[in-house]
Amino acid sequence: MDKVQKLASENGVMIFSKSTCCLCYAVSILFRELGVNPYVHELDHDSDGKEMDKALTKMGCNPSVPAVFIGGKLIGSTNEIMSLHLKGSLVQLLNPYMSV
Amino acid sequence: MNSSTYTQFVASKRMGICDPIHQIGMWGDFKDSSFPDTEEPSHGTVGTSNRYEPETNKRIEKVHRRLAQNREAARKSRLRKKAYVQQLESSKLKLLQLEQELDRARQQGLYVGGGLDASQIGCSGTANSGITTFEMEYGHWVEEQDRQTDELRSALLSQIGEIELPILVEGCLNHYFDLFRLKATAANTDVLYLMSGTWKTSAERLFFWIGGFRPSELLKVLTPHMEPLTEQQGRDVHNLTQSCQQAEDALSQGMVKLHQILVEAVAAGTLGDGIILPQMAATIEKLEALVRFVNQADHLRQETLLQMSCILTPQQSAQGLLALGEYFKRLRALSSLWSGRPSEPT
């Protein structure tokens, strides 16, 4: 969906979230811990939220939130982020966007 | 006193009414009383006493005495009846309380089987059977884990071949992954049960973190028991430990937020509302967010085990898994010892 892709490409590190989703909150905490300031977009505060939700699912993000984009590319949801981090690959991906 | 009345009396004595044995009997007895008016004051049946007829006086006195005794006996019997009824009422309450406790225990899966059917108590049959199944399967899982731990020990002692050891290691890892699959099903059935940790032993519950063991602690348990690590391995293990702790912290903070949301949801509502169904339904939805957290924590456990097996040689992995198996065995043994310890005199 255009809006999803547009927002993702505008921001280096992007998390699509819902304000009630505590797992989304956990992911944003992890990113901040790693020295990154992600742009968090709450779908439930967006009038197009439902469409964006469906679009994320179509793009292969399951569950739809949290949906993490780095450099405009969909990385995945919590499972993918955690796996990457334990392998040590997440930090490499986030490197360009880290605020010292 | 006939025999049935005697039995009634003995029964009432067991109920706690402490009547001395020599007293006459149950209140029902006095239906058979031969005296026409046991309770009413005499109204001239006997007449006023006549001083000038001593024998009549004696008889009159005797009658008065007998009437007084009857009144006294009737009074006492009324008191006993009252005490008996009160005893019945409190026993009824106690029975209700016990039924509720039993209900709760069955919900938690602590009391399995017995004569009562789940439907009689009125709790959800499917949730209960799902938990019962999980407990049974977990029991089998523990037995198998102990067996595999023993197998690892003898394999390392006997120094089996290079092909067999990796197969053993893979089998052990898959066994852990089986547990996470079991837990995923149980989480969908009753996440509160899973998170309470009642299915684990008491010592294991000390170290409980979101439905299971803390992955970073696992690494601390494994590392001392392995053959010395190479420099590269040392760095990799260090990085893995750090990443694990960061992930755990993030999840823990997410749990804190969920906790706050749940507290607010239960506390919401204006005074005097009582329990409102729509509000309860929303709260139950929020409880289901716990399922995602338990699944995420298990995913973290699984990934930690996988990554360790990638960093280590099969020999080291086997040593680590042996240490882990023995660690859990020791925790379970500690729980047994703890629950069996003699209670101190007060």
pLDDT(A11) > 80: yes
Total beta-carbon pairs less than 8 A apart between chain A and chain B: 63
Closest CA to A88 of B317, B240, B221: B240
Predicted confidence band at B131 (pLDDT cuts at 50, 70, 90)? Answer: confident
**In the predicted structure, residue B122 carries a pLDDT above the cut 70:** no
| The most confident of B13-17, B288-292, B298-302, by mean pLDDT | B298-302
Q: In this complex, is the C-beta atom of B240 within 8 Å of any C-beta atom belonging to chain A?
A: yes
Q: What is the mean pLDDT of residues A46-62?
A: 92
Closest Cα to residue B194, out of B280, B264, B135, B263?
Answer: B135
Question: Å from B280 to nearest chain A CA?
Answer: 17
Q: Is the pLDDT of residue B230 over 90?
A: yes
Which of B110, B106, B140 shows the shortest CA–CA distance to B123? B106
- Give the gap in angstroms from C-alpha B236 to the nearest C-alpha of chain A: 9
Kindly report the nearest CA distance between residue B312 and chain A, in angstroms.
Answer: 14
A80 touching chain B per CB within 8 A: no
Least confident of B74-83, B113-122, B224-233: B113-122
Angle at the Cα of B312 (from B238 to B159), degrees rounded to 5?
140
Buried b (16+ CB within 10 A) or exposed e, B303-316: bbbbbbbebbbbbb
Q: B303 and B168 in contact (C-beta within 8 Å)? A: no
Assess whether pLDDT exceeds 80 at residue B21. no
Chain A within 8 Å of B309 (Cβ-Cβ)? no
Weakest mean pLDDT among B3-12, B79-88, B142-151: B3-12
For B33-66, give one letter per residue: b (16+ CB within 10 A) or e. Answer: eeeeeeeeeeeeeeeeeeeeeeeeeeebeeeeee
Question: What torsion do the CA atoms of B270, B271, B273, B278 make, to the nearest 10 degrees?
Answer: 30
- B195 CB within 8 Å of a chain A CB: no
Chain B residues whose beta carbon lies within 8 Å of the beta carbon of residue A79: 296, 299
Q: Is B255 on the interface with A (CB under 8 A)?
A: yes
pLDDT exceeds cutoff 60 at B11: no
- Model pLDDT, residue B7: 45
**Contact assessment for residue A85 and residue B246, using Cβ atoms and an 8 Å cutoff:** yes
pLDDT at B58: 85
pLDDT digits (tens, 9 = 90+) for B73-115: 999 999 888 888 888 888 888 888 888 888 777 776 554 444 4
User: Whole-number mean pLDDT of chain B?
Assistant: 80
- Cis bond leading into A63, ω under 30°? yes
Mean pLDDT of A23-28: 96
Least confident of B50-64, B133-147, B310-324: B50-64
B253, B299, B302, best to mutate vs chain A, most A CBs in 10 Å: B253
In this prediction, residue B339 carries a pLDDT of: 87
Highest mean pLDDT among A10-14, B174-178, B215-219, B341-345: B174-178
State the complex-level ipTM.
0.95
pLDDT class of B332 with cuts at 50, 70, 90: very high
* Distance (Å, whole) CA A63 – CA A57: 7
| B184 interfaces chain A, CB cutoff of 8 Å | no
Say yes or no to pLDDT of B244 above 80: yes
User: CA of A12, closest CA in chain B: separation in Å?
Assistant: 21
* Confidence bin at B161 (pLDDT 50/70/90): confident
Place of tokens 């399995």: B112
Give the lowest-confidence range in B121-135, B139-153, B215-229, B326-340. B121-135
Chain A environment of B304 (Cβ under 8 Å) = 86
Are A22 and B257 in contact (CB < 8 Å)? yes
The secondary structure of B149-201 as a DSSP string is HHHHHHHHHHT--TTHHHHHHHHHHHHHHHHHHHHHHHHHHHHHHHHHTTTS-
Answer yes or no: are the C-beta atoms of B318 and B165 closer than 8 Å. yes
pLDDT number for residue B16: 45
B257 interaction partners in chain A (CB closer than 8 Å): 22, 25
Record: contact A88-B254, CB cut-off 8 A: no
pTM listed for this prediction: 0.70
Query: What was the pLDDT predicted at B275?
Result: 62
User: Residues of chain B with pLDDT > 90: what percent?
Assistant: 45
Angstroms from B149 CA to nearest CA on chain A: 26
Positive or negative torsion for Cα A47, A51, A57, A60: negative
User: In the prediction, which pLDDT does B25 show?
Assistant: 44
Where residue B297 falls among pLDDT bands split at 50, 70, 90? Answer: very high
- Its sign, for the CA torsion B59, B65, B68, B70, is negative
At residue B120, the pLDDT reads: 45
Cα A64–Cα A67–Cα A70 angle in degrees, nearest 5: 155
Specify the pLDDT at position A80.
96
pLDDT value of position B27: 45
Amino acid at B96: L
Mean pLDDT of B255-283: 75
